[in-house]
Amino acid sequence: MNILDIRDLCKIYGQVAALLDITLSVGQGEWVAIMGPSGSGKTTMMNIIGCMDKASSGSVILDRQDLSRLSPAELTAIRRDKIGLVFQQFHLIPYLTALENVMVAQYYHSLTDEDEAMQALVRVGLGDRAGHLPRQLSGGEQQRVCIARALINSPSLLLADEPTGNLDEANETIVMNLLEQLHREGSTIVLVTHDLEVAAHAQRTVFLEHGRLARIERNTGRLPPE
Amino acid sequence: MGNRSSRFLFKMLAGSLLRRRSRMAVALFGIALGATALLGMVTLCYDIPRQLTREFRSYGANMVFLSSGQAPLSLDAVEKAVPLLPGDHLLGLTPFRYLPVRSAMVPYTMAGTDFSQAAKTSPYWRVEGRWPEKENEILIGADIAEFARLEPGRTLPIDGRNSSMSRFRKDLLICGVLRTGGAEDGLLFMNLAAMEAMTGEGRLADVVEISLSMKEEDLRALAAAIQAAVPGLEARLVTRVTQSEASVLGKLDMLVTLVAMVVLLLTMICVATTMMTVVLERRREIGLKKALGAENRRIVEEFLAEGILLGAMGGLGGALCGFAFAQLVCMHVFGRSIDIVFSLIPLTVLVSVGITIAACLAPARQAMNVEPALVLRGE
Ligand SMILES: Nc1ncnc2c1ncn2[C@@H]1O[C@H](COP(=O)(O)OP(=O)(O)O)[C@@H](O)[C@H]1O
Ligand SMILES: [Mg+2]
């Protein structure tokens, strides 16, 4: 069963077609990487899948709901309930501790639960950093807090836009291992990257060029999900 | 909203306030400054007229009691009138009895009075030497001191006749020279009771000067009431001072109200600008919260909560500074301390919170319009 079905998706900004006739399906538990040069429409696609922007035409069906038919308030609810976001720039709230940054997602979702938030931090290996402010954490640690926050409400889909773009190699490995682990545990992941090595962790890689879907490659050397 | 959620909201606010100290300090400073100006103005607005009323009173009495007949006024009649004077507005009440006396064949006028009261109704009296304390001590006017070459420490033998023409004589000790620039400089002054003992006269006064901190209309009504209640006594207003006093105070009231309103407006603009900057600075944070699924209602709620907290803290700090400011002004201008009206503190906090909320409305609308898409674009 597919968690995401994109059909003939277009996004036009004035004269610029950021996305043109994209058709793509992502299965439950699948990991898909999106690659393409700068300006090829990767972020635009993430924004539409993540319910932060609307398509100009075409349909996007997320977990059996057609996003193009939803009101802004309904889109907000989908973001809250079904999407987990990981950003290149982490976007942690600077005046909140690691633990509180995770709890923010709980706060907007339903109720805060400190124990659960703590468990999420332990899961990304930051149990001993819960009380630290973002500026007291390394880039890799900040990204792991961001991942813990993305996971806290058990989203149907994890969206990561260049999650390793601001990390050194050692931290990249830590974050990719973490994503691998999440994937093994059943998370569906859509990940944007420039980096072939990072893309190689996914089962399929989608190549975008000038807003068009150029080709899809099935990655070898990887086991398909059970 | 559940209890746990409101506790987390409070945690976020505390984090925002405590861990972004320099930013919040600017906002707080703006609000506190407004509150300071506001409370300072209001306190002065309330206090200045009262201070000025007292100040005007230092130009002398604004009501006099006289005898309505030929004979001098009896102090018994005055005592009947005293309970009719409002005690909390009464600054002083001074009887004067004038009597012709001679010393070494030179005629003088001796005034009997109550020195402790005279200091209140006539604060402009300046005494070189010291005020009389004993029965035989007197003050002499500055003109007399000059012409008769008299000075404190000298003894002045005087004699005269009382109203029933019986003679008296006594040696009096000069203890001070009185200088007012007015008619008092040509008189001798002694304690009224001592004068009564010397002359053997009953308790009489030619005029009683009264200083009251009251408005002209009230004074007029009071004078009429006293006159009706006490036969033989005529109560009159010293109108010249009273009238100018009323018109000056009226103008001042208007001026202070106007300034207070301008200050209020400026505070509001200051807070609104600060909060707009806060929204601009925190666009990413607001976008992130929306990306995490925060409803507009929650964003506005947080924003107002922060505004209320800032308003309350700034208001409280400003209220205290405002009192200090008003006190400073009052000490410098009037040389007196203000009366602190404590109920103004919660009022100032309320007004600050109200202003902050009003000032937050436009920025909150801006915050609502922030697009969550910007967090991925990473501006
Ligand atoms: N809000 C916008 N308004 C106008 N053009 C935009 C906007 N967002 C993106 N674009 C354009 O759409 C194209 C795709 O952008 P984007 O999705 O950010 O690319 P990528 O993430 O692959 O670098 C670019 O040409 C960009 O200039
Ligand atoms: Mg991009």
B136-156: pLDDT as tens digits: 999 999 999 998 999 999 999
Domain residue extents for chain A: 2-218
Q: How far apart are CA B126 and CA B121, in angstroms?
A: 13
Same domain, B93 and B198: yes
* Domain end residue (candidates: B202, B237, B272): B237
CATH superfamily of A2-218: P-loop containing nucleotide triphosphate hydrolases (3.40.50.300)
pLDDT for residue A225 is more than 60: no
The per-residue pLDDT for range A177-210, each reduced to its tens digit, is 999 999 999 999 999 998 899 999 999 999 999 9
Pick the last residue of a domain from B237, B262, B282: B237
Model pLDDT for residues A61-77, shown as the tens digit of each residue: 999 999 999 999 999 99
The amino acid occupying position B113 is T
pTM: 0.69
Q: What is the pLDDT of residue A221?
A: 60
Among B residues 268-287, those touching chain A with beta carbons less than 8 Å apart = 284-285
Same domain, B174 and B74: yes
> Which residues on A lie below 8 Å from B11 (Cβ)?
96, 100
Per-residue pLDDT of B259-271, as tens digits, reads 878 877 887 787 7
With a threshold of 0.90, tell me whether the complex ipTM lies above it: yes
Higher pLDDT, B1 or B329: B329
> Which ligand 1 atom is nearest residue A42's CA?
22
State whether B37 and B71 are in the same domain: no
Range of B122's domain? 61-237
Those residues with Cβ within 8 angstroms of residue B110's Cβ, 6 or more apart along the chain or in another chain: B98, B99, B100, B101, B138, B158, B160, B187, B188, B189, B190, B195
Same domain, B6 and B126: no
> Looking at the structure, do residues B258 and B187 belong to the same domain, yes or no?
no
- Note whether B378 contacts A87, CB cutoff 8 Å: yes
Task: Tell whether B119 is within 8 A of chain A (Cβ).
Answer: no
Range name among A203-217, B112-126, B255-269 with the lowest pLDDT average: B255-269
* Residues B102 and B166 grouped into a single domain: yes
Residues B65 and B50 occupy one common structural domain = no
> What pLDDT shows up at residue A224?
46
Same domain, B50 and B68: no
User: Which of A11, A43, A161, A212 has the most ligand 1 atoms within 8 A of CB, as the residue to mutate?
Assistant: A43
B171 and B45 co-located in one domain: no
Better-scored residue on pLDDT, B43 or B220? B220
pLDDT at residue B235 is higher than 50: yes
pLDDT score for A175: 92
DSSP structure class, residue B123: T
Looking at the partner chain, which of A85, A97, A112 has a beta carbon nearest the beta carbon of B8? Answer: A112
Residue B292, chain A, CB below 8 Å: the answer is yes
User: Does residue B213 share a domain with residue B90?
Assistant: yes
Contact A34, A192 (CB under 8 A): yes
Q: What is the pLDDT of residues A32-49, one digit of tens each?
A: 999 999 999 999 999 999
pLDDT at B212 over 70: yes
**Which atom of ligand 1 is nearest to B373's Cα?**
1
Domain boundary among B237, B263, B296: B237
Distance CA B362, CA B346 (A): 26
Based on the fold, state whether residues B116 and B47 are members of the same structural domain: no
> What is chain A's length?
226
If you measure CA to CA, which chain A residue comes closest to B296? A73
Same domain, B202 and B261: no
- Give the number of domains in chain B: 2
